[in-house]
Chains A and B, each alone.
Chain A
Amino acid sequence: MTELDKISRRDFIRVSVLAGGGLLVACGGGGSSSRSNAPSGPGDNGGGTPVTPADAFQVGEFMRISTDNKITVLVGASEIGQGALTSIPMIVAEELDADWSQVTAEMSPVAANFNNPYFQNLLQFTVASSAIRGYFQGQRSVGAAVRQMLINAAAKRWGVEADTLRTEASFVIDDIGGRRASYGELSSAAAEEPIPNNPPLKDPAAYRIIGSSQQRLDAADKTNGSFRYGMDVDIPNMLTAVIARPPRFNGQALNVDDNAALAVPGVRSVHTILGGVAVVADDFWSADKGRKALIVQWNELLAGRTDSDTQRNAYNLRLNLPGLPIRTDGLVLLAQTLASETISADYYFPFMAHAAMEPLNVVVDYDGSSAEIWTGTQSATLDKIFAGLILGLLPDQITFHMMPSGGGFGRRGNPLADFVRDACAVAKAVRQPVKVIWTREDDMKGGFYRPAAAVRVSASIDSANNISAWTHRSVTQDVTALLYAENLLDSLADFTLPPLKELTDFETGMPYKIDNVLMDAHLTVNLAMPALWMRSVNKFSDVFAQETFIDELAMKVGKNPYNFRRDLLSEKPRHRAVLDAVADAAGWGFSSGGISQGIAVMGHWNSFVAQVVEVSVSANRELTIHRVVSAVDCGTAINPDLVIAQVESAVIFALSSILFGEILLEDGVVQQSNFDDYPVLRMYQTPVIETVIVNSGNPVGGVGELGVPCVGPALANAIFEATNERIRELPLTRSNFKIA
């Protein structure tokens, strides 16, 4: 039982009258400070009155209802494009019975009160498709409690029983008395009401906001240039810095000749930090020119020498050795012995870069005794802790602004806070507000890639032509190893490591009815090769192997890949439902005109997806991807249009990876630098994308990554249909395929 669970609802929500009228709902407060994930210090006064300006944010303001009936919801999850700033307020507004047109959203401060329940309330951490799954229940309870308080206030005002009143669109309505009062009018009085312990939650059948395709709340600002990202933060006296980083990971600056750099007009200073050499200037252009003029000799004694080709050979060798078992059903060895045939296939997947559109950047204003930090991040809590370590400040002395991000895909959810640590080191040297900007090249070469992976899958077929055994072995880098090895963390007494099991979960949820299953994994540790999760993590590679190999088995036993899967999913109704739905929506088996189809299915993040890809292949190996059809079951879709947008997004993200995605290392040096040598999908290469939502009414599932893993195998299966060639490695450019 987590600590949060022990805290009563009464403590969880704190309500007060806003200065000047209105209602302020805060979660946390009271005994909540004990839940702080940060080391306690003298500045931590138990969540009461603020002692420092930074402390004011710790109060954890959650929602404001102002007297003019406007409602503002503060969102603890990061807005990285997935629509957290819209869908999370929709959940609150639903139970509150709010007038959605009067609801706005803001990013929350970084405070324990806003931690993601999915990570046991330890962190604000927006990874693993966990925002809706994590925050759903709590947001409903808060909305329902405040609604009840508004009703109670109205009942008092009118002298009637609360249960004779109802609510609709931010009004409490007395049908008998023929009167109504807005939430705004009632807000001050409602703040004096006791907080209900177990406010009733709506029957899902009564939802009117959840399940509706509302326009994004940030849509207007994201179309007129006014939406502010970390890159756009501008504060008085702010300098701009870029960092010259070593050509090989973990290299250290040995000798720095900064004469030419300092001679560049606008350059103020040059500082050697742990991560490299920072050039600080009045503006970006001067800083960048200064960096080009730097002459740095690097100490490469401890530098990484990862080489893509060498590593591939090593991984392939390890495929022959047993790994750490992660799933064992039945007796695989026996089944293999009894089988009439066992076939296997090896797969390889390269390093890939996230390449979010907004390159990494951090603004730090540090004056020696306190700091203010702005950055687009998926991991604000850990960022703030590391900032405190670098700057020698207590959490209370740091005001951390979690900015919306121009894309994340996992890169901004680095538990090691690499970009924040670098920026704090620069700020500590400069003692003046400074914005550290990563250029695209810095971002592309900066590491923390999706790790390369080798996978071997085998299946045994018995005399009755049934699949009697299945094995799946992965070799890849443990993306959390760096975190645990990092000695910086040693100084974090009391700090509990985030529960990362879900993130390094190598179980693909292989759904097929096969009695004997062995899945094992080799998690390699390479401290000089920074790797990190990237949208759908290991599912990208593991599901690729699983879902292309299942197709091979179907061919082997002479069955249609759709029917073969369907038969093996007799005990998996949700897999089967999306598989049937996509077959139906895509017209499975009815393609013509040289178009080939491929199909794949999977379940993860409490959600399910099946996809059909349609492709044609020309004689000179040019691929034309015509259409990608997806069927998704995410339990309950809070905002169906945003679910569809996430699937569209995932399909395009996956196609970029499958077609071109490859970071190559030669003797430790990354070979790619920008979108010319690391291409991503463009408009003219984008297929028609159709998505159907299978409404299962189940609890909410994750959506952000769901659309990624099946695109690759479905495309590979379609290419096989067209060419009789099996794809065993990515990207497809390695097999000399081009995209038309």
Chain B
Amino acid sequence: MPPNFANTIRRIVSSSLLIAAGLISSQVAAQSPLFQPLFEVLTHPRCLNCHTKTDFPRQGDERRRHAQLVVRGEDNHGAPTLQCSACHQDENVADGAVPGAPHWALAPLSMAWEELSPSELCAVLKDTSKNGNRNLEALFKHMSEDELVLWGWTPGGDRTTPPLSQPAFVEALRAWVDAGGPC
């Protein structure tokens, strides 16, 4: 398949997804249709379970509290002697039963996304005082290349993946960044 054709297909698919997403989630729709697909991805359990506003991570699509009394800890890496890395390796292990990726950890509380509206989440995402001082291009790089972010699309086991494919997500992200990050 010639790459330009594949790209065309991808664009069609992503724009139709974009429209569909806009239709099904009118209640929490972002004001900017360009942010809406990103919102759908960022609030998927694969992302949200570690972008919690609580002092613990969550597990599963039902987003239950992480078992074993796992806590956020002072540096978002768990309790001092029950660190995320006690179990989570740099890759999925045990046939995917135990998920893993490099620098596995909770996102800092400043990047807690739980229960945010699309416009709130968008604002938090762009706020350099909260997002690790990342401008839009740095955000693009982080969200399209970071191995922990990429894990969301290869989560192992029977875990579900975000509603957009990873390439479609990158395209949607590109479009949003190119448009100046409208919320």
Contacts and interface: CB of A to CB of B under 8 A. Distances in A.
Q: In the complex, is A directly touching B at CB under 8 Å?
A: yes
A406 interface: no
A261 to B, nearest CB: 16
A179 interface: no
B69 A679 contact: no
Contact of A682 (B68, B95, B97): B68
A292 B97 CA distance: 15
Nearest to A684: B69
A5 interface: no
B24 interface: no
A676 B69 contact: no
A679 B67 CA distance: 9
A674 B157 CA distance: 14
A588 B174 CA distance: 67
Interface string B128-148: 000000000000000000000
Contacts of A292: 95
A174 to B, nearest CB: 59
A684 B70 CA distance: 11
A472 B74 CA distance: 55
Contacts of A683: 69
A292 B95 CA distance: 10
A682 B68 CA distance: 7
Interface in A655-693: 674, 676, 679, 682-684
A674 B94 CA distance: 12
A682 B82 CA distance: 14
Nearest to B98: A676
B37 to A, nearest CB: 32
Contacts of A682: 68-69
B120 to A, nearest CB: 26
Interface string B79-103: 0000000000000000101000000
A684 B66 CA distance: 13
A679 B59 CA distance: 15
A683 B95 CA distance: 28
Interface string B153-169: 00000000000000000
Nearest to A288: B95
A679 B95 CA distance: 20
Nearest to B64: A738
Contacts of A684: 69
A285 to B, nearest CB: 12
B99 to A, nearest CB: 12
Contacts of B67: 676, 679
Contacts of B69: 682-684
A679 B97 CA distance: 16
Nearest to B59: A676
B97 to A, nearest CB: 8
Q: Among A676, A679, A682, A684, find the residue whose CB has the most chain B CB atoms closer than 10 A.
A: A676
B95 to A, nearest CB: 8
Interface string B44-76: 000000000000000000000001110000000
A740 to B, nearest CB: 11
B60 to A, nearest CB: 10
Interface string A279-298: 00000000000001000000
Nearest to A679: B67
Nearest to A673: B97
A590 B68 CA distance: 33
Contacts of A679: 67
A683 B69 CA distance: 9
Nearest to B65: A738
A513 B69 CA distance: 46
B156 to A, nearest CB: 14
Contacts of B97: 674, 676
A695 B68 CA distance: 39
Contacts of B68: 682
A153 B67 CA distance: 64
A145 B110 CA distance: 76
Contacts of A676: 67, 97
A292 to B, nearest CB: 8
9 contacts: A292-B95, A674-B97, A676-B67, A676-B97, A679-B67, A682-B68, A682-B69, A683-B69, A684-B69
Enumerate the 5 nearest inter-chain pairs by beta-carbon distance, A residue then B residue, closest first. A684-B69, A682-B68, A682-B69, A676-B67, A679-B67
Given A676-B67, A676-B97, A679-B67, 6 more contacts: A292-B95, A674-B97, A682-B68, A682-B69, A683-B69, A684-B69
